[in-house]
Amino acid sequence: MSIKHFLLVGAGGHSTVVLDALQSCGQQQDICVVDESVNQIGKTVLGLIVQRLDSTVEMKGRRFHVSIGRNDVRARIYDALKARGGLPSTIFHPVATIARSASIADGTFVAARAVIAPAAAIGEGVIVNHGAIVDHECVVHNQCHIAPGATLAGNVRLGLRVFIGAGANILPGVTIGDDAIIGAGAVVTADVPPGMTYAGVPARKIR
């Protein structure tokens, strides 16, 4: 992947994970870390100084990756940069496991020790964090975040912008609606409606 003039957008904790993956792949030149928060400007992320995200900078043909954990913010910035001609880059840590028959769309990040199993389909701007498992024939739609150690068993369906908490387990065939949140350590045994927050074992609606 060519990363000349590459923009890594976001300077919070998740950006260190993404930047480490880039550096682990030997990509260390011409990376510019940017953030829209004035509180982040001038700080460093793994030795790189954070600059301001300039909404007027030319994006046509320029590679970028949005390294922000919060789904709605990541989606907003991602869509804006793409609309201006930016090219979202997909980043895999070198020790992630990705089946040859899996499909992964632009702008997604797959962290170290994560597993994407055969025939799984991952949408745009998704985060599959450390040690998470997306099993066979799962479908994960755009801008979801699967936190460390979470497991999607076979044939799970995630809608848009779903958040799956650390260590949660989604049982086979379950569908989780758009913008739903699953709490850390939850065991989800039945479908979850859009916009709902579920937690516990077995998972139940909490709001």
Q: What is the mean pLDDT of each run of 10 residues along the chain (207 residues)?
A: 70 94 79 91 91 86 94 97 95 97 98 98 98 98 98 98 98 98 98 98 92
Neighbours of 153 (CB within 10 A): 18
Chain-centroid distance, C-alpha 126: 3
Residues 6+ positions from 171 with CB-CB distance below 8 Å:
153, 156, 187, 188, 189
- In this structure, the strands spanning 181-182 and 204-205 are unpaired
Q: CATH 3.40.50.20: which residues of the chain?
A: 6-89
Domain 6-89 has CATH 3.40.50.20: yes
Q: CATH 2.160.10.10: which residues of the chain?
A: 90-197
Tokens coding 8: 């890594």
d(CA 68, CA 89): 14
d(CA 161, CA 143): 5
Q: What is the pLDDT of residues 181-202, one digit of tens each?
A: 999 999 999 999 999 999 999 9
DSSP state of 9: E
Predicted pLDDT at 3: 37
For 90-197, CATH number? 2.160.10.10
Chain-centroid distance, C-alpha 120: 15
d(CA 49, CA 200): 41
Predicted pLDDT at 29: 59
d(CA 181, CA 198): 6
d(CA 186, CA 197): 11
Q: Which of helix, strand or coil describes residue 168? A: coil
Q: Which of helix, strand or coil describes residue 82? A: helix
Predicted pLDDT at 2: 38
Predicted pLDDT at 136: 98
For the entire predicted model, the pTM comes to 0.93
Q: Which of helix, strand or coil describes residue 55? A: coil
d(CA 67, CA 125): 9
